[in-house]
Amino acid sequence: MSLASTTPVRTEPAAHVARAPLKPLDLALAELLARATPLPGFEVVSTFDADGRVLAQDLVSGLDVPAQDNSSMDGYAVRCADWASAATLLQVNQRIPAGSSGHALASASAARIFTGAPIPPDADAVVMQEDCETVNPATGATPAVRIDTQPRPGQWIRRRGEDVAAGAVVLHRGTRLSPASLGLAASIGFDKLQVARRVRVALFSTGDELVMPGDVAPADMKPGAIYNSNRFFLKVLLQRLGCTVTDLGIVPDRLDATMAALQGAGQQHDLILTSGGVSVGEEDHIKPAVQALGELSLWQIAIKPGKPFAYGQVGAAHFIGLPGNPVSSFVTFLLLVRPFLLKLQGATEIATKSIAIPAHFYWAKADKRREFLRVKRNAAGGLELFGNQSSGVLTSAVWGDGLLDNPPGQTIAHGDMVQFIPFSELMA
């Protein structure tokens, strides 16, 4: 027997494969937005129905608003030069309600005028009726008014074009329309608007443990079963952002079922949004399914809650996978999916805005990841912290009115100024 056959073969230990570092939130968001090319096409809708939609045209005014100088008060239109003292009496020889027009003021006269009515020629001020005293005339005489205070040129007059000048761009393409902006569009004559088309989103959850409310009574729930809460708030959040949602329900924890759902959804949608199945367990099939059908370019983010976040493509459709824990799914939608969807619609204002507010609690558990704590403002102007910050405690998102954006490795002392993101900013 040769030496080679009898000498034990020395084997080296398997090399440890280092896990890629978690991607910082800002970098992950920048990568997402870089891939969110605005969708082509637009649709024309009634201005009544355009709330929350993204404008696909510049709105140029064809007129001045207001169209002429008009009164901002009920009162009397006067010429300041006619006033000498508080004893001055001015004859009231015309009455101008809104929607009509008057004639030039005669010397030492005034016009009874109402809010919104055009200023008559030669008048240079309006005196509100609270600063005037009407004088009862004799039968058949012209009524008169006594002005108590000296009028100033221009007072209580809204100038022509002071709101909007003819030819001005009033609302820019990419503006997300609000009730006020819809009123502004109507004020320059737009009864219909060109808006970005709705993003078509396919939504489904994965997990054999998921049960739909109404299908099983609480008393009949099997051990380990949970109601699918994510499906409800994700669908509503998508609809608030103007998306058309195809709800594909709950997909079983099998690779073939996951691949079939993804492949079907990718053919007729702009975005596939899933909840659950993006971790690294044996029953988490989203990652291999997306990789088999397309590409997965973003995997796991350095935030808490919400680390198991994924982005890729399935065919021509974008794919975003959210964590299964409800708070993680809720937070990552607000921080990442919302701006992504706004960018797909061509919106120009997508940055999340935070404000500095003092913390009225202590947070000694610094984490290496960037944390988003559920908090709410108190009557003293500070932030209170929900006691249980677990990613499964959806109560924290109902109790709170926003998120505290806490940097990695940061503890918080009572009175420290922290960055607060109101839910009203994130769910508008």
Third-level CATH fold of 25-40+198-344: Molybdenum Cofactor Biosythetic Enzyme; Chain A (3.40.980)
**Residues 341-394: tens digit of each pLDDT:** 999 999 999 999 999 999 999 999 999 999 999 999 999 999 999 999 999 999
| pLDDT for position 105 | 94
The predicted pLDDT at position 279 comes to: 65
pLDDT in tens, 233-270: 999 999 999 999 999 999 988 899 999 999 999 999 99
Which distant-in-sequence residues (6+ apart) come within 8 Å of 322 by Cβ? 230, 234, 273, 274, 275, 276, 278, 309, 328, 329, 332, 333, 337
| pLDDT surpassing 70 at residue 11 | no
The residue-averaged pLDDT of 165-173 equals 97
Question: What mean pLDDT do residues 158-186 have?
Answer: 97
* C-alpha–C-alpha distance, residues 133 and 142, integer Å: 15
Task: Return the domain boundaries, the chain.
Answer: 25-40+198-344, 48-63+165-196, 70-158, 355-426
Residue 249's pLDDT is what? 93
The whole-angstrom separation of Cα 101 and Cα 113 is 10
Which residues have a Cβ under 8 Å from the Cβ of 48 and sit 6 or more positions away? 182
The mean predicted confidence, pLDDT, of the chain is 92
Domain 70-158, architecture per CATH? Beta Complex (2.170)
Instruction: Please check the confidence at residue 5 and state whether its pLDDT lies above 70.
Output: no
Report pLDDT for 139: 62
| Alpha carbon of residue 405 to chain centroid | 18
Average pLDDT over every residue of 132-139: 78
* Per-residue pLDDT tens digits for 209-228: 999 999 999 999 999 999 99
For domain 355-426, say whether CATH 2.40.340.10 is its number: yes
CATH-assigned architecture of domain 48-63+165-196:
Alpha-Beta Complex (3.90)
pTM for the full model?
0.87
Q: Look at 131-135, 334-338, 397-401, 405-409 and tell me which has the smallest mean pLDDT.
A: 131-135
